[in-house]
Amino acid sequence: MALKNVVVIGGSYVGTNVAEQLAAAAQGRFRVLLIEKNSHFQHLFAFPRFAVTTAVNTHKAFIPYTAGKFGQDGAVLQAAVTGISKSAVQLDRKVLLDGQHQDSIPYSYLAITTGTKLTPPSSLPGSEKLDGVTYLHQHADKIKSSQRIVIIGAGAVGVQMATDVKEIYPEKSVTLIHSRKNVMSRFHPGLHEIIAERCKELGVELVLGSRVKLPSTGYPTDRSVDVELMGGRKIPADFAIVCNGQVPQSTILQNLAPQCIDNDSFIRTLKTLQINDPEYSNIFALGDVADTGAHKAARPAGKQAEIVAKNIVHLIEQEPLEEYEVQGTPAIHMSLGVKKNVVFANPPVGSFDEPMIKHRDDGTLDMNIDGVWSRRGGGPNSVL
């Protein structure tokens, strides 16, 4: 008898986490199929740094998927999911599975971990490793050859790129523009104060409370431009980098269960992390694409992966399901240049406590990519 398929869509941090936990719990009852459009696991946290300098092993931000990590019977299928039915996923290409080339993969249970789409260089155009390495090298070369750099959006990526560029190239002019009066506004104002002080220390000009008139075709990269603010100010730039906007990648669910997608394009879920429609109790959503009520970060997503893996097994065994409860407060480990970084956590809601702050000075230029490579199963042959 063929094993039941448990399909995980999306092979980033959350997807690989839940796939590995499912594989560990399979015990011959099902096999795990991880479907991912990219050829390699992409260590997204390194992309902002690796888009600034080529003095790192850029290729190591792309780590081979190891099918064995997802169980003896599991597999990694490189394809993009174009549609979902109650019992199968449709792919954009044929993949080899069970000795046949097929573009429709049946499933008994499904976990959607497609995350959000970020503006490059936070995420990359193309799906092959070589394309990604080439893009990051070209971006870093453009940084090196530009004297006036304007970064639009002071979220975590924008702050990291601005402080990285100014520390690596102190002679350059770096301007960081943000539409709100405070950066990282979902956090306690103490984080804004830390970032503002760091920008002042490095010489990054922080322009706050100003929206940018973004050209519909994007900023050209072959000539200097003026970055125009809504108030009329124009900031000359040799290179303008957009670091705002995160779009939930939920469209694959649009035709099957449009009522499960909220006005902001996140997937509505129950506390069990099943999508919010009893007709599709075999479909789960977790991580950044899911409206779970949790802060979009690694720690909450890791707990969600644990709950989903357990609940799929519970469904197979006809056992009561577990519920996900949001725990803790929003927290972040944030780079403020090559060496300086900060761990910051909001105080509990409604309390008069101070935030938790840990200043650190232990960063490295390559963001300890060798350790990430090894933990992710890259192995000794780092050119794969």
pLDDT tens over the chain, length 384 residues: 578 999 999 999 999 999 999 999 999 999 999 999 999 999 999 999 999 999 999 999 999 998 788 988 999 999 999 999 999 999 999 999 999 999 999 999 999 999 999 888 988 888 999 999 999 999 999 999 999 999 999 999 999 999 999 999 999 999 999 999 999 999 999 999 999 999 999 999 999 999 999 998 889 988 999 999 998 999 999 999 999 878 999 999 999 999 999 999 999 999 999 999 999 999 999 999 999 999 888 889 999 999 999 999 999 999 999 999 998 899 999 999 999 999 999 999 888 899 999 999 999 999 999 999 988 887 655 454
Tokens representing 318 are 């006809």
3-class DSSP state of 253: helix
For 98-242, strand residue ranges (E) read: 100-106, 109-112, 116-118, 148-152, 173-177, 205-207, 225-228, 234-237, 239-242
Query: Rounded to an integer, what distance in angstroms lies between the CA atom of residue 308 and that of residue 19?
Result: 10
346: which DSSP letter? P
Phi-psi region of 158 (alpha: psi -120 to 50; beta: other; left: phi over 0): alpha
For 216-282, strand residue ranges (E) read: 225-228, 234-237, 239-242, 246-248, 267-268
236: which DSSP letter? E
- What is the β-pairing status of strands 88-97 and 100-106? antiparallel
The string of DSSP letters for 50-70 reads HTT-SSS-GGGGEEE--GGGG
Query: Rounded to an integer, what distance in angstroms lies between the CA atom of residue 341 and that of residue 315?
Result: 43
Domain residue spans in the chain?
A: 4-118+246-316
* C-alpha to C-alpha distances, 381 to 38, 62, 63, 377, nearest whole angstrom: 20, 13, 11, 10
Q: Which residues pair with 35 in a beta bridge?
A: 9, 77
Say which CATH architecture domain 4-118+246-316 belongs to.
3-Layer(bba) Sandwich (3.50)
The CA-based angle 37-21-262, given to 5 degrees, is 60
Crossing angle for the helix pair 13-26 and 298-316, nearest 10 degrees?
30
Global pTM? 0.94
Q: How many residues does the chain have?
A: 384
